[in-house]
Amino acid sequence: MKTALLAAAIALAAAGPVRAADVPAEDGVANESLGTRPADELPPDIAEGLAAPGDLDGLWRLMLANDTHTPLADLDIAHGTGEARAGGVFTALPGLCPPVTAEGTCDFDGSMGEITDIVLIDGGLVISFNPGFDIADEQILRLKRADDGSWHGTLDGDPPRPVVMRRP
Protein backbone atom coordinates (compact mmCIF):
# COMPACT_ATOMS: atom_id res chain seq x y z
CA MET A 1 0.00 0.00 0.00
CA LYS A 2 2.77 2.46 0.95
CA THR A 3 4.60 1.66 -2.29
CA ALA A 4 1.46 2.42 -4.31
CA LEU A 5 0.97 5.74 -2.51
CA LEU A 6 4.63 6.68 -3.04
CA ALA A 7 4.39 5.82 -6.74
CA ALA A 8 1.22 7.92 -7.07
CA ALA A 9 2.90 10.88 -5.33
CA ILE A 10 5.93 10.65 -7.62
CA ALA A 11 3.69 10.45 -10.69
CA LEU A 12 1.71 13.50 -9.56
CA ALA A 13 4.90 15.48 -8.86
CA ALA A 14 6.25 14.66 -12.32
CA ALA A 15 2.96 15.61 -13.98
CA GLY A 16 3.61 19.34 -13.55
CA PRO A 17 1.36 22.00 -12.02
CA VAL A 18 -1.04 21.07 -9.25
CA ARG A 19 -4.66 21.88 -9.97
CA ALA A 20 -7.46 22.05 -7.40
CA ALA A 21 -9.24 19.23 -9.20
CA ASP A 22 -6.17 16.97 -8.76
CA VAL A 23 -6.08 17.29 -4.98
CA PRO A 24 -8.83 15.56 -3.00
CA ALA A 25 -10.69 17.63 -0.41
CA GLU A 26 -10.12 16.64 3.21
CA ASP A 27 -12.70 16.94 5.96
CA GLY A 28 -15.05 18.80 3.66
CA VAL A 29 -12.53 21.59 2.95
CA ALA A 30 -12.38 22.50 -0.71
CA ASN A 31 -9.04 22.97 -2.45
CA GLU A 32 -10.00 25.92 -4.66
CA SER A 33 -7.35 28.01 -2.88
CA LEU A 34 -4.62 25.93 -4.53
CA GLY A 35 -5.41 27.18 -8.00
CA THR A 36 -2.78 26.27 -10.62
CA ARG A 37 0.89 26.68 -9.69
CA PRO A 38 4.08 24.63 -9.77
CA ALA A 39 4.15 21.86 -7.18
CA ASP A 40 7.19 23.33 -5.38
CA GLU A 41 5.73 26.85 -4.99
CA LEU A 42 4.22 27.87 -1.65
CA PRO A 43 0.71 29.31 -1.48
CA PRO A 44 0.88 33.15 -1.34
CA ASP A 45 -0.64 33.37 2.16
CA ILE A 46 2.08 31.05 3.52
CA ALA A 47 4.94 32.65 1.54
CA GLU A 48 4.03 36.12 2.90
CA GLY A 49 4.54 34.92 6.47
CA LEU A 50 8.09 33.64 5.89
CA ALA A 51 11.09 35.80 6.80
CA ALA A 52 14.06 36.13 4.48
CA PRO A 53 17.15 34.32 5.78
CA GLY A 54 19.37 36.35 8.11
CA ASP A 55 23.16 36.54 8.28
CA LEU A 56 23.44 33.56 10.64
CA ASP A 57 21.14 31.29 8.62
CA GLY A 58 22.82 28.07 7.47
CA LEU A 59 25.63 25.73 8.44
CA TRP A 60 28.57 26.77 10.64
CA ARG A 61 31.64 24.97 12.00
CA LEU A 62 32.93 25.87 15.48
CA MET A 63 36.70 25.35 15.86
CA LEU A 64 39.48 26.16 18.28
CA ALA A 65 41.13 29.43 17.30
CA ASN A 66 44.68 28.12 17.41
CA ASP A 67 47.14 26.46 15.06
CA THR A 68 45.20 23.17 15.04
CA HIS A 69 41.71 24.59 14.29
CA THR A 70 40.32 21.48 16.01
CA PRO A 71 36.61 21.12 15.13
CA LEU A 72 34.36 21.43 18.19
CA ALA A 73 30.81 21.37 16.78
CA ASP A 74 28.69 21.83 13.68
CA LEU A 75 25.78 24.23 14.03
CA ASP A 76 22.78 24.45 11.70
CA ILE A 77 21.14 27.80 12.41
CA ALA A 78 17.75 29.12 11.30
CA HIS A 79 17.79 32.93 11.42
CA GLY A 80 15.44 35.50 9.91
CA THR A 81 16.57 38.89 8.60
CA GLY A 82 16.58 41.50 11.36
CA GLU A 83 15.76 38.98 14.10
CA ALA A 84 17.62 39.28 17.42
CA ARG A 85 17.14 35.57 18.18
CA ALA A 86 17.64 32.42 16.18
CA GLY A 87 17.26 28.68 16.62
CA GLY A 88 19.04 25.60 15.43
CA VAL A 89 20.61 22.25 16.08
CA PHE A 90 24.14 21.13 16.89
CA THR A 91 26.35 18.09 16.40
CA ALA A 92 29.21 17.84 18.91
CA LEU A 93 32.60 16.82 17.51
CA PRO A 94 35.55 15.18 19.35
CA GLY A 95 37.34 18.44 20.13
CA LEU A 96 34.44 19.77 22.22
CA CYS A 97 35.43 17.66 25.21
CA PRO A 98 37.55 19.57 27.69
CA PRO A 99 40.90 18.02 28.52
CA VAL A 100 39.94 14.70 30.10
CA THR A 101 41.61 13.61 33.33
CA ALA A 102 42.38 10.05 34.37
CA GLU A 103 39.23 10.09 36.56
CA GLY A 104 36.75 10.69 33.78
CA THR A 105 35.85 10.50 30.15
CA CYS A 106 33.82 12.70 27.83
CA ASP A 107 30.80 11.43 25.94
CA PHE A 108 30.06 14.58 23.91
CA ASP A 109 31.44 13.26 20.60
CA GLY A 110 28.58 12.77 18.16
CA SER A 111 25.85 14.02 20.48
CA MET A 112 23.17 15.99 18.70
CA GLY A 113 20.39 18.23 19.89
CA GLU A 114 18.63 21.54 19.78
CA ILE A 115 20.62 24.69 20.45
CA THR A 116 19.33 26.14 23.73
CA ASP A 117 19.61 29.79 22.70
CA ILE A 118 21.10 32.06 20.05
CA VAL A 119 21.00 35.77 20.79
CA LEU A 120 22.46 38.70 18.84
CA ILE A 121 23.22 41.36 21.44
CA ASP A 122 25.37 44.51 21.50
CA GLY A 123 27.05 43.66 18.19
CA GLY A 124 27.94 40.19 19.45
CA LEU A 125 26.49 36.73 19.54
CA VAL A 126 25.80 34.38 22.46
CA ILE A 127 25.06 30.72 21.70
CA SER A 128 24.34 28.04 24.29
CA PHE A 129 23.82 24.31 23.85
CA ASN A 130 24.15 21.20 25.99
CA PRO A 131 25.89 18.13 24.52
CA GLY A 132 25.72 16.15 27.76
CA PHE A 133 23.23 14.89 30.31
CA ASP A 134 24.13 17.27 33.13
CA ILE A 135 23.29 20.96 33.44
CA ALA A 136 27.02 21.52 34.07
CA ASP A 137 27.68 20.35 30.48
CA GLU A 138 26.06 23.51 29.02
CA GLN A 139 28.41 25.15 26.50
CA ILE A 140 28.26 28.94 26.16
CA LEU A 141 29.88 30.77 23.25
CA ARG A 142 30.51 34.52 23.30
CA LEU A 143 31.42 35.74 19.83
CA LYS A 144 32.08 38.96 17.87
CA ARG A 145 31.83 39.22 14.09
CA ALA A 146 35.09 39.60 12.14
CA ASP A 147 35.54 41.48 8.86
CA ASP A 148 35.74 38.20 6.91
CA GLY A 149 32.23 37.10 8.05
CA SER A 150 33.47 34.63 10.66
CA TRP A 151 32.78 34.96 14.39
CA HIS A 152 35.59 34.96 17.01
CA GLY A 153 35.42 34.69 20.78
CA THR A 154 35.47 32.24 23.65
CA LEU A 155 33.87 29.01 24.72
CA ASP A 156 33.21 29.36 28.45
CA GLY A 157 34.74 26.69 30.63
CA ASP A 158 37.66 25.96 32.85
CA PRO A 159 39.75 27.19 31.18
CA PRO A 160 37.88 29.31 28.59
CA ARG A 161 38.98 28.37 25.08
CA PRO A 162 39.42 30.77 22.13
CA VAL A 163 37.13 29.75 19.23
CA VAL A 164 36.18 30.74 15.72
CA MET A 165 32.88 29.98 13.95
CA ARG A 166 33.02 29.80 10.13
CA ARG A 167 30.95 28.49 7.28
CA PRO A 168 32.23 25.01 6.29
| 48 vs 53, more confident | 53
- Taking the whole predicted model, whether its pTM rises above 0.85 is answered as no
When pLDDT is cut at 50, 70 and 90, the band that residue 8 belongs to is very low
- Calculate what percentage of the chain has a pLDDT beyond 70: 66
Is residue 151 exposed (0-12), middle (13-18) or buried (19+ Cβ within 10 Å)?
buried
Would you state the pLDDT for residue 38?
61
Would you state the pLDDT for residue 37?
53
When pLDDT is cut at 50, 70 and 90, the band that residue 119 belongs to is very high
Class of the domain covering 58-166: mainly beta
CA-to-CA distance for 53 and 69, rounded, in angstroms? 28
pLDDT tens sequence across 33-45: 445 556 566 666 6
Q: In the predicted model, what is the mean pLDDT of residues 140-160?
A: 93
Q: In the predicted model, what is the mean pLDDT of residues 95-111?
A: 75
| Residue ranges matching CATH 2.40.128 in the chain | 58-166
CA-to-CA distance for 70 and 43, rounded, in angstroms? 44
Would you state the pLDDT for residue 24?
52
CA-to-CA distance for 72 and 77, rounded, in angstroms? 16
Task: List all residues 6 or more positions away from 106 whose beta carbon is below 8 Å from its beta carbon.
Answer: 96, 97, 98, 100
CA-to-CA distance for 85 and 115, rounded, in angstroms? 12
Whether residue 126 is predicted with pLDDT greater than 70 in this model: the reply is yes
Would you state the pLDDT for residue 45?
64
Whether residue 144 is predicted with pLDDT greater than 90 in this model: the reply is yes
Q: Indicate the range of 19-23, 73-77, 103-107, 125-129 predicted with least confidence.
A: 19-23
Contact 22, 9 (CB under 8 A): no
Torsion 21-22-23-28 (CA) sign: positive
